[in-house]
Amino acid sequence: MERLQKVIALSGYCSRRKAEELISLGKVKVNGKIVIEMGTKVDSMDYIEVEGHPIEQMEDKVYYLLNKPRGVVTTAKDEKGRKTVVDLVKTSKRIYPVGRLDYDTTGLIILTNDGELTNFLTHPKNNIEKVYVAKIKGLITKDEIRRLCNGVYIDGKKTSKAKAKILKIDKKTNSSVVELIIHEGKNHQVKNMFKAIGYDVLKLKRESIAFLTLDGVPSGEYRQLSIKEVKKLYGEKNNQE
């Protein structure tokens, strides 16, 4: 059971605040009856109309966008008892992370109980774009950036085409900051790509997946995705390869 205004907002119809306004104005019906009580709870079987428009519900599927902090493992359960990404999200549903970020990597990760979306986002043929920002040890050159873009060899296999640009070169600390955009998601992919051209990654953050960014979600916090966002993700196939 969820609060009515939250269900309306998650459908993508309007913001939660606007939904509260529409409820108080008597513009929302649940199972054909006007509801003006703010705390009203509904479930996926309830038929909700806002200003005469039926609202789509997500049934039992849930989708969260988490800004993963450092020092958290990307599994549902850790044998060593360390904190996991799932521990950071308050839900009664059994969710799991889509793909993985290393223990020391921060940034955007999706958690869901929707296996179909997980397969869609992680299957290489769908070319889902992921943007990383890496701080590396040493001063990278434009030539090396070109090598990253054209593909480098990891365990004898060439990585597919990527986009990369230098964000900062810091001679004082002998480090560089690079934005790397890739479509693949093999284990330690970014760290291994830099290793292939002779650099160690000091810090790594995933800034975005497809059109989803960390905007408005501080480190360690999360938000739910709306139905609109989930549908947009399914339509996100990127065929640039």
Using CB under 6 A, which of the segments 59-67, 113-121, 188-196, 215-223 binds ligand URA? 188-196
Least CB distance to ligand URA at residue 174 (A): 21
Least CB distance to ligand URA at residue 100 (A): 7
Residue 204 binds ligand URA (CB under 6 A):
yes
Using CB under 6 A, which of the segments 8-16, 39-47, 97-105, 222-230 binds ligand URA? 97-105
Tell me which of 7, 178, 180, 190 binds ligand URA, using CB under 6 A. 190
| CA 58 to mean position of chain CA atoms | 18
Give catalytic status of residue 200 as yes or no: no
* Per-residue binding letters, 44-83, with ligand URA (x by CB under 6 A): ----------------------------------------
Q: Which residues are catalytic?
A: 102
